[in-house]
Amino acid sequence: MLRRRHLLAGGLVVTALPQALRAAPGVQRDSRVLMGTRVDITLDEPDPGRRLAALGAAWAEMQRLEALLSRYRAGNPVAALAHAAGGAPLAVPPELHAVLSAAQAMARRSDGAFDVTVGALDGWDFDPGHPRAPSRADVARALTLVGHDDLHLAPGTAQLRKRGMKLDLGGIAKLPILAAGLATLQAHGVRHAMLNGGGDVLVAGQLQGRPWRIGVRDARAPARLAGTLALTEGFVASSGDYERCFELNGQRYHHILNPRTGQPTAGPHGVALVGRDLAALNGLGAALMVTGSRHGRSLMVPGVDALVFERDAAPWATPGMQRQLG
């Protein structure tokens, strides 16, 4: 029997390809660092020329979107909006406008539990090389600049209404970037692919005639699996408090911030979502990390299933997730 290995990726565990599959004609995995995390593309495509062209085009498109949407790229449209905060609206590229529109829709749906204007809370640094926690006074000042009502969108333009406001699209841009990568692969004739980016996974087709298998970490004990999902289409997205974190003066801090307090969320340890509709689930994991399942159940919509690892209660799962999670 072939022994399976597992690749840990955010809240998800993607079964690594056994040697027999790695050697199978047409199966190829390629990896790069994008969006501050490792991104893997696995293809099941017999034509080597098609594989090569599709991979090159997909990486180029995802890198283009990363440069456009990152908060860390000087001179890009996200930086331009921050520089112009408090002034007139700016024309923005359609890709950025689409992400901001999705962010605002989730902010309204979650009553502000998800909010991309948390970029103003930049006193936090979760880089393991130099972690930093802001003072309470700094957080209080930054919170005056957090609020999705002060992000105004009009056709083709965006505006941050208060000087000093900033955007952080980390909770909503990754899935659209992965989706653009998959769309590029498909435009080049690839039917069977999986993209895995730091806890967010997108699949199409099959791997050697079988559904792609994606394991879900138990957020209470991240080395352990809560179960696996078998998919031929759709998204699996995760959020958790165990990845980017640090301890300071005996206190543990993680990178998912509550827009209402400016502090790391104190709700669930983690959330896993599965569905086929990007708009329905994008940003929902971060919102549920704020609300928890008890208050967040009203955020669930048909076609999206969830597993929520509560902090002080048993995990909660939608009936659909209970059926799918093997």
pLDDT (mean) for 233-242? 92
- The model's confidence at residue 6, banded by pLDDT at 50, 70 and 90, is very low
Is the Cβ–Cβ distance between 204 and 41 less than 8 Å?
Answer: no
Return the DSSP state at 165.
Answer: -
Percent pLDDT > 70 in the chain is 93
What's the pLDDT tens digit per position in 272-290?
999 999 999 999 999 999 9
pLDDT (mean) for 178-201? 96
Separation of first and last alpha carbons in the chain: 20
- The model's confidence at residue 198, banded by pLDDT at 50, 70 and 90, is confident
Q: Which fold has domain 73-160?
A: T-fold (1.10.3980)
Amino acid identity of 210? Answer: R
Maximum distance among all alpha carbons in the chain? 64
What's the pLDDT tens digit per position in 71-102?
999 999 999 999 999 999 999 999 999 999 99
d(CA 56, CA 58): 6
Beta strand 27-34 with 157-160 is unpaired
What's the pLDDT tens digit per position in 122-165?
999 988 888 899 999 999 999 999 999 999 999 999 999 999 99
Complete DSSP assignment for 248-305: ETTEEEES-B-TTTSSB--S-SEEEEEES-HHHHTTHHHHHHHHHHHHHGGG--TTEE
Tokens of 325: 């999670």
Tokens of 202: 């997108």
- The model's confidence at residue 312, banded by pLDDT at 50, 70 and 90, is confident
d(CA 261, CA 51): 47
Coil, helix or strand at residue 64:
helix
- The model's confidence at residue 21, banded by pLDDT at 50, 70 and 90, is low
If residue 83 lies in a helix (H) or strand (E), which one and from where to where?
helix 77-83
Give, in words, the CATH class of 6-67+172-324. alpha beta
pLDDT (mean) for 302-324? 94
List of residues 6+ apart from 218 with CB closer than 8 A: 224, 225, 226, 309
List of residues 6+ apart from 158 with CB closer than 8 A: 81, 89, 90, 92, 96, 97, 100, 151, 152
Closest CA to 91 of 165, 161, 156: 156
d(CA 2, CA 215): 18
Return the DSSP state at 79.
Answer: H
Tokens of 19: 């040697």
Cβ neighbours around 79 below 10 Å, total? 16
C-alpha neighbours within 13 Å on the C-beta side of residue 59: 16
Find residue 14's DSSP bridge partners. 7, 214
If residue 132 lies in a helix (H) or strand (E), which one and from where to where?
none
Domain ranges of the chain: 6-67+172-324, 73-160
List of residues 6+ apart from 45 with CB closer than 8 A: 26, 28, 51, 54, 189, 190, 191, 192, 193
Beta strand 233-240 with 200-204 is antiparallel
Closest CA to 227 of 202, 275, 236, 291: 236
d(CA 290, CA 112): 10
